[in-house]
């Protein structure tokens, strides 16, 4: 899963104009961490588990009466933590296409596609997802599904049926849907429709589905993909930003040897502290900051990395992400929630939104005597009551404004407002 390369000492003797281009090789390094090993194990298990019930020699499979053994799980994480890169590295450990000709001395001609990774369309449309699926299968197998089913003559419902049949015919091992947070941009009902289709893939044809996205996808996933997740033995994963622990130090050590400055420096505790403070444990920011610092050192003639130079580069080149990093650094929740791509908060995928009935009393049962002879008939009545002093902040504020206090002070006195220290 890892990906390293060799840096030769002669490269540091090249002119600066060449060395600044070589720095770009840093982005190719992949250092497996504990979270990547966990993800690899889950993907491997879910692929193999999904194939158990889909034996093409089984009569139940041919007649569509087999029991689905597939499961699914969701991978959410902070933007810049390398979710897509990690899943690509893991999937590339498997052969994408297996061409079968014989099985146990029997003639058996079949293409088996172990995995497909597609991205949710930018507008979160179901049609866009289907077209992306057809195009990816054509790219892998050389088929013409896109021209046959994506020409505009078929309705979206028919395209979904075609997509389901193709996935079964090619013995697809796992379908990975990336950028699932784009579903939040879909038209009314589109997100629920697509998630229901994913559930159908899992339950009907036994196809494992892996959804990948940022914390912004929580609004879509909560309460809508629950049934499919309950059938999974792999659970759900959250890629948090790295803590200042062994994983962060392992990653920084892995890339630190790639220095193209004339005077390479040993990684010190002070440099570790500075890099963590300026990146807040986001892998993409760590690599970019390291690359930009080397570029600055080479072009500026310093030819070495110092803590002050790292801070200077961060101030000059990371201005767009500085508000997000400042919010993470200070731990100010009110600021962090402004950036749903980097704030995971207390993610709970099993959360169900409660139903509210405002100012409604419980049902009142009364026995009445009817003049028509039907005695003791029970009638149900629901009485709607007006808001009271105890449950309506409008009345609370109105009745206390004469105390020369602001609305904020009144609500805080009532215990309805809490400071950030209480969160």
Indicate whether 368 pLDDT > 70.
no
58: pLDDT strictly greater than 60: yes
**Dihedral sign, CA of 4, 9, 15, 16?**
positive
Q: What pairs with residue 113 in β-bridges? A: 97
Residues 6+ apart with CB under 8 A from 62: 56
- In the structure, what pLDDT confidence band is assigned to residue 191 with cuts at 50, 70 and 90? confident
Of 291, 260, 289, the closest CA to residue 275 belongs to 289
Q: How far apart are CA 159 and CA 333, in angstroms?
A: 43
Tell me the pTM: 0.76
Say if CB 198 and CB 72 are below 8 A apart: yes
pLDDT at 205 over 60: yes
Of 104-118, 203-217, 229-243, 363-377, the poorest mean pLDDT is in 363-377
Beta carbons within 8 Å of 194's beta carbon, 6+ residues apart = 124, 126, 129, 183, 186
Q: Are 50 and 174 in contact (CB under 8 A)?
A: yes
What is the spatial distance between Cα 416 and Cα 217, in angstroms, rounded to a whole number?
A: 29
d(CA 381, CA 341): 47
User: Residue 4 and residue 257: Cα distance in Å, rounded?
Assistant: 11
281, 248 Cβ separation under 8 angstroms: yes
Structure tokens at 365: 């049962």
pLDDT computed for residue 223 by the predictor: 54
Residue 60's pLDDT band, with cuts at 50, 70 and 90, is confident
**Higher per-residue pLDDT: 87 or 53:** 87
CA 391 from centre of chain? 38
Q: Residue 220 and residue 180: Cα distance in Å, rounded?
A: 9
- Structure tokens, 178: 């990336």
DSSP lists the bridge partners of residue 368 as 377
Integer Cα distance of 87 and 237 in angstroms: 13
Residue whose token pair is 């770009």: 24
% of the chain at pLDDT higher than 90: 45
Confidence of residue 188 (pLDDT cuts 50, 70, 90): low
Q: How far apart are CA 230 and CA 371, in angstroms?
A: 55
Mean pLDDT within 318-345:
85
CB-neighbour burial class of residue 26 (10 A; exposed 0-12, middle 13-18, buried 19+):
middle
Give, as one character, the DSSP assignment of residue 192: H
Q: Which residue has the higher pLDDT, 138 or 371?
A: 138
SS3 annotation, 362-414: CCEEEEEECCCCCEEEEEEECCECCCCCCCCHHHHHHHHHHHCCCHHHHHHHC
Query: Which backbone phi and psi does 140 adopt, to 5 degrees?
Result: -85, -40
Say which DSSP state 130 is in: H
Q: Tell me 3's DSSP state.
A: B
Out of 96-105, 134-143, 343-352, the most confident range is: 134-143
- 163: enclosing H helix or E strand: helix 156-169
Burial of 297 (0-12, 13-18, 19+ CB in 10 A): buried
Distance of CA 295 to the CA centre of its chain: 32
């Amino acid at each position: 899963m890892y990906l390293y390369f060799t840096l030769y000492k002669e490269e540091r003797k090249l002119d600066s104009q060449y060395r600044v281009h070589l720095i770009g090789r840093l982005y190719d390094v992949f250092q497996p961490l504990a979270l990547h090993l966990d993800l690899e194990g889950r993907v491997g298990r879910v692929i193999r588990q999904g194939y158990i019930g889909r034996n093409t020699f089984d009569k139940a499979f041919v007649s569509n009466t087999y029991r689905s053994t597939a499961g699914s799980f969701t991978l959410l994480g902070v933007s810049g933590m390398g979710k897509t890169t990690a899943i690509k590295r893991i999937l590339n450990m498997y052969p994408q296409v297996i061409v079968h000709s014989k099985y146990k001395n029997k003639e058996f001609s079949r293409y088996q596609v172990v995995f497909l990774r597609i991205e949710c369309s930018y507008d979160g449309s179901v049609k866009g997802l289907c077209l992306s699926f057809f195009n990816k299968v054509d790219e892998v197998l050389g088929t013409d599904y896109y021209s046959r089913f994506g020409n505009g003559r078929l309705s979206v419902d028919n395209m979904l049926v075609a997509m389901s049949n193709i996935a079964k015919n090619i013995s697809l091992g796992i379908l990975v849907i990336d950028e699932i947070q784009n579903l939040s941009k879909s038209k009314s009902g589109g997100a629920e429709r697509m998630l229901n289709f994913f559930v159908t893939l899992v339950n009907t044809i036994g196809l494992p589905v892996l959804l990948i996205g940022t914390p912004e996808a929580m609004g879509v996933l909560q309460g809508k993909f629950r049934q499919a997740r309950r059938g999974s033995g792999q659970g759900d994963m959250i890629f948090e930003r790295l803590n200042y622990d062994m994983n962060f130090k392992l990653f920084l050590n892995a890339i630190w040897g790639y220095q193209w400055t004339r005077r390479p420096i040993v990684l010190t505790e002070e440099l570790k502290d500075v890099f963590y403070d300026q990146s807040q444990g986001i892998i993409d920011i760590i690599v970019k900051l390291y690359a930009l610092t080397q570029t600055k050192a080479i072009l500026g003639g310093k030819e070495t990395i110092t803590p002050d130079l790292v801070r200077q580069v961060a101030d000059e080149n990371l201005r767009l992400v500085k508000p997000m990093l400042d919010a993470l650094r200070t731990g100010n929740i009110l600021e962090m929630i402004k950036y749903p791509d980097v704030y995971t908060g207390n993610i709970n995928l099993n959360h169900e939104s409660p139903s509210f009935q405002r100012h409604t009393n419980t049902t009142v049962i009364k026995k009445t005597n009817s003049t028509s002879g039907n005695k003791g008939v029970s009638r149900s009545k629901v009485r709607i009551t007006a808001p009271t002093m105890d449950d309506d902040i409008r009345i609370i504020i109105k009745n206390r404004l004469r105390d020369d206090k602001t609305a904020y002070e009144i609500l805080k006195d009532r215990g309805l407002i809490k400071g950030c220290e209480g969160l």
